[in-house]
Chain A
Amino acid sequence: MSADNLTRTQRDDLRTIAAMIVPASEEYKVPGADDPAIQADMLATLGRDTKLVAAALDHLARLAGAPLAELDAARRDAVAQGFRTSGGVAAATLARVVLQCYYRDDRVLRALGIELRAPFPKGYVLPDGDWSLLDPVKARGGSLRQAP
């Protein structure tokens, strides 16, 4: 199953709910999760999550009774609240898909000060730390419980 199985309405609702989860921000200079590139990433990599995401979107449609984008702001917020509380595993999967695609977008990572690369092969540098912090533990000592 792939994103091809999502209807146009479902894709529209996915875009709308994604923007409600993570809206664009001028203050933080980041796009919203409804950004076309982020939406394209979601659809391209939906893979094994497609079935649950489709179920979540079906549930959302039942709650909304109309395309989400057509509701007024108050009604949309109420539907979203109901979706979060009653959507179960399917709603959690949808939110996870939105977030995992959002937080790998170059613009988002750059705004967070995260390097745009895989961890390997460069890795990261870790400070060795001040091991004199262990001195009180050494001074206190102790002993293993004896086994007969």
Chain B
Amino acid sequence: MKDPVDVLIIGAGASGAAVAWSLAETKMHILCLEQGGWMNPADYPSTARDWEAKFYGEWSSSPNVRGRPEDYPVNDDNSPIKVVNYNAVGGSTVMYTAHWPRLHPSDFKVRTLDGVADDWPVDYDALTPFFEENDRIMGTSGLSGDPLSPLTHPPMPQQPMGLSGAIIGKAMNERGWHWWPSDTTVATMDYEGRARCINLGHCTPACAQGAKSSTDITYWPQAIRAGVELRTHCRVREITTDENGMATGVVYYDKDGVEQFQPAHVVIIACNGVGTPRLLLNSKSDRFPNGLANSSGLVGKNLMFHPYAQIYGYVKEPTDSNRAPPTCLWSKQWYDTDLSRGFVRGFGVQFVRGAGPVFEAVVSEQRGILPWGEDHHRVFRKLNGHRLGFSAICEDLPEEHNRVTLDPVLKDSHGIPAPKISYTISENSQTMMDYALARGREILETAGATDICVNSPIPWGGWHLLGTARMGTDPKSSVVNEWGRTHDVKNLFIVDGSIFVTSGGVNPTSTIQALALYIADQMKQRLANLFD
């Protein structure tokens, strides 16, 4: 049998990396098991002429399309929004837009402020030092002073406005609406060993330049230097427990597919809002017949995605197309509740600079605005390099029927039951999306756009996997306590997006990592009585 480790972390993505780095200073024996491997930037799409075609295959954001051995399948047939993720050292920070807003202070108090969902058991102020620390390590760029966003201090200046940003800014000014350069994790100058952005264009599927921050090039090198062990191509099947209801370790399959048992004194799950409930539900035992840490019955429930309402059009002037990071500006004009709009809560907006030629051709053909035949060439020249987009990230409120369960048939390459998603868009979210699309249309028309198209919800837009093991002080209505420890198993912690109580209306990775650092800090402060 293997020697026990002090702390075993499952998952080397956004939160697993942050918690590993933070706990490393304790000098405990820390091991992380990751089902994927290390990435090789020389293989990234932007190094090849056929970079866009790769997005439809091996570099798809959908694990079901990629189908690599490192990926697990997801049955999302019962959801209008499909799960997208990436499995590797760095997790989905390898494949994300690098858009970097934080949840707002009001997001932690939605019950008090708006009478819906629940307040969080932690507040923004408690997370503030960890937001700052995380921004420094991930390396953010932006412009401090946005009047409608929490105050941030990005260590690098904002991205260039570019051609697209100028068109959007003018239109927003004409409307009298708020806009601001986005905080991003794209390095705009050389930073901590990362080279500055050279506008490779398509940040989402990994950055060959290393300008986009992902935890494989930020947290992990530091954590490993500090003594953390990272074992790749190791897929955890279940967490084991003893007669006292304490976690004893995990059963996993190593890189050769051989089943192994790794004992541990503390287990930390960092597998995202789909992978975490899947693992807990797969960890059934006589003592935990409904899955581990599931006495509340809430493991897998309250899944929140952020439905994306997207609208785009085409202007006469050239836009940045694929020659820049895809997002550059945000708006918080409609972030807070205004019941006169017909819905509660709100949405953030990220503006999109444009698209490359293959994407433009494929999507426009599917939309029916790019014809077959003689007129194809004329219309393509009108569309290509002229696209502007508006994406509203709508706050999804928790609903128990939106959930992750285990699929009775579908399994991954190791025979482990796969997750099954059941999800519907609520009436509140739909009203919010319709409202957002109407505002987006006004902005695009103000910018002079024509051929306006709606893509709502973005079908392959399930990036943000939240809420399926929620935080709370009451074990009857939550899975983990206010510092990330499961109510049922006192040496089992969860640090990923599954512990979110509500979703806010912004991309969650910054908040996920701040929360992971906060939980690690709480653990360090309680080492003497961690299991009390």
Cβ of B80 under 8 Å from chain A: no
Question: Assuming the A-B contacts A95-B362, A131-B161, are A20 and B373 also in contact, with contact meaning beta carbons closer than 8 angstroms in the complex?
Answer: yes
CB pair A148–B165 under 8 Å, yes or no, is: no
In the complex, how many angstroms separate the beta carbon of B426 from the nearest chain A beta carbon? 22
For A48, the chain B residues whose CB sits under 8 A away are: 57
CA distance A11 to B56 in the complex (A): 22
CB pair B377–A27 under 8 Å, yes or no, is: yes
Cβ of B104 under 8 Å from chain A: yes
Within A112-148, the residues touching B (CB, 8 Å) are 112, 114, 116-131, 133-134, 136-138, 140-148
Question: Assuming the A-B contacts A21-B376, A22-B376, are A126 and B162 also in contact, with contact meaning beta carbons closer than 8 angstroms in the complex?
Answer: yes
CB pair B49–A118 under 8 Å, yes or no, is: yes
CA distance A118 to B46 in the complex (A): 6
Pick from A2-10, A59-67, A100-108 the stretch touching chain B.
Answer: A100-108
Residue of A nearest to B372 (CB): A21
Within B206-264, the residues touching A (CB, 8 Å) are 208-209
* B53 partner, pick from A104, A121, A125, A144, beta carbons under 8 A: A104
**Interface readout for B156-200 with A: 1 if CB under 8 Å, 0 if not?**
000111110110011011001011110000000000000001111
CB pair A104–B169 under 8 Å, yes or no, is: no
**Interface readout for B319-343 with A: 1 if CB under 8 Å, 0 if not?**
0101110000000000110000000
In the complex, how many angstroms separate the beta carbon of B507 from the nearest chain A beta carbon? 18
Residue of B nearest to A17 (CB): B372
Cβ of A110 under 8 Å from chain B: no
Cβ of B123 under 8 Å from chain A: yes
Residue of B nearest to A22 (CB): B376
Cβ of B52 under 8 Å from chain A: yes
For A96, the chain B residues whose CB sits under 8 A away are: 56, 362, 365-366
Within A72-92, the residues touching B (CB, 8 Å) are 80, 84, 92
Count of B interface residues, CB-CB < 8 Å: 69
CB pair B166–A23 under 8 Å, yes or no, is: no
Question: Assuming the A-B contacts A21-B372, A144-B149, are A122 and B160 also in contact, with contact meaning beta carbons closer than 8 angstroms in the complex?
Answer: no
Cβ of B128 under 8 Å from chain A: no
CA distance A137 to B452 in the complex (A): 26
In the complex, how many angstroms separate the beta carbon of A86 from the nearest chain B beta carbon? 14
CB pair B47–A118 under 8 Å, yes or no, is: yes
In the complex, how many angstroms separate the beta carbon of B319 from the nearest chain A beta carbon? 11
For B124, the chain A residues whose CB sits under 8 A away are: 147
Within A6-46, the residues touching B (CB, 8 Å) are 20-23, 25, 27-28, 30, 45
CB pair B53–A147 under 8 Å, yes or no, is: no
User: How many residues of A sit at the interface, in one of the four size bands?
Assistant: 35 or more
CB pair B160–A128 under 8 Å, yes or no, is: yes
Question: Assuming the A-B contacts A45-B53, A120-B47, A129-B161, are A144 and B373 also in contact, with contact meaning beta carbons closer than 8 angstroms in the complex?
Answer: no
CA distance A133 to B162 in the complex (A): 13
Residue of B nearest to A30 (CB): B377
CB pair B106–A145 under 8 Å, yes or no, is: yes
Question: Assuming the A-B contacts A103-B361, A142-B147, are A127 and B160 also in contact, with contact meaning beta carbons closer than 8 angstroms in the complex?
Answer: yes
CB pair B147–A103 under 8 Å, yes or no, is: no
For B374, the chain A residues whose CB sits under 8 A away are: 23, 25
Q: Give chain B's interface secondary structure class.
A: loop
Cβ of A99 under 8 Å from chain B: yes
CA distance A146 to B108 in the complex (A): 11
Cβ of B148 under 8 Å from chain A: yes
CB pair A144–B358 under 8 Å, yes or no, is: no
Query: Quick one: which of A30, A100, A142, A148 has the most chain B CB within 10 A?
Result: A100
Question: Assuming the A-B contacts A95-B362, A119-B201, A133-B173, are A144 and B320 also in contact, with contact meaning beta carbons closer than 8 angstroms in the complex?
Answer: no
CB pair B57–A92 under 8 Å, yes or no, is: no
* A120 partner, pick from B44, B358, B361, beta carbons under 8 A: B44
Within B458-486, the residues touching A (CB, 8 Å) are none
CB pair A23–B373 under 8 Å, yes or no, is: yes
CA distance A96 to B52 in the complex (A): 11
In the complex, how many angstroms separate the beta carbon of A121 from the nearest chain B beta carbon? 8
Question: Assuming the A-B contacts A30-B377, A100-B53, A100-B362, are A20 and B372 also in contact, with contact meaning beta carbons closer than 8 angstroms in the complex?
Answer: yes
Within B341-372, the residues touching A (CB, 8 Å) are 357-358, 361-362, 365-366, 372
Cβ of B27 under 8 Å from chain A: no
Query: Quick one: which of A30, A48, A122, A134 has the most chain B CB within 10 A?
Result: A134
For B47, the chain A residues whose CB sits under 8 A away are: 118, 120
In the complex, how many angstroms separate the beta carbon of A2 from the nearest chain B beta carbon? 14
CB pair A144–B109 under 8 Å, yes or no, is: no
For A109, the chain B residues whose CB sits under 8 A away are: 357
Cβ of B105 under 8 Å from chain A: yes
Query: Quick one: which of A20, A47, A114 has the most chain B CB within 10 A?
Result: A114
CB pair B377–A28 under 8 Å, yes or no, is: yes
CA distance A140 to B173 in the complex (A): 11
Residue of A nearest to B106 (CB): A145
CA distance A122 to B105 in the complex (A): 41
For B200, the chain A residues whose CB sits under 8 A away are: 119-120, 123-124
CA distance A112 to B529 in the complex (A): 67
CB pair A124–B323 under 8 Å, yes or no, is: yes
Q: List 29 A-B contacts (CB under 8 A).
A: A21-B373, A22-B372, A23-B373, A30-B377, A95-B365, A95-B366, A99-B361, A100-B52, A103-B52, A104-B49, A104-B50, A104-B52, A104-B358, A112-B384, A121-B198, A121-B209, A123-B200, A124-B324, A126-B160, A127-B161, A138-B147, A140-B176, A140-B178, A143-B147, A144-B106, A144-B148, A145-B105, A146-B106, A148-B113
Given A100-B56, A138-B147, 5 other A-B residues pairs in contact with their CB atoms under 8 A: A22-B372, A25-B377, A122-B198, A133-B170, A142-B178
5 closest A-B pairs by CB: A129-B161, A123-B198, A124-B323, A147-B105, A142-B147
Residues of A near any B CB (own CB < 8 A): 20-23, 25, 27-28, 30, 45, 47-49, 80, 84, 92, 95-96, 99-104, 109, 112, 114, 116-131, 133-134, 136-138, 140-148
Residues of B near any A CB (own CB < 8 A): 44, 46-53, 56-57, 104-106, 108-109, 112-113, 123-124, 143, 145, 147-150, 159-163, 165-166, 169-170, 172-173, 176, 178-181, 197-202, 208-209, 320, 322-324, 335-336, 357-358, 361-362, 365-366, 372-374, 376-377, 381, 384
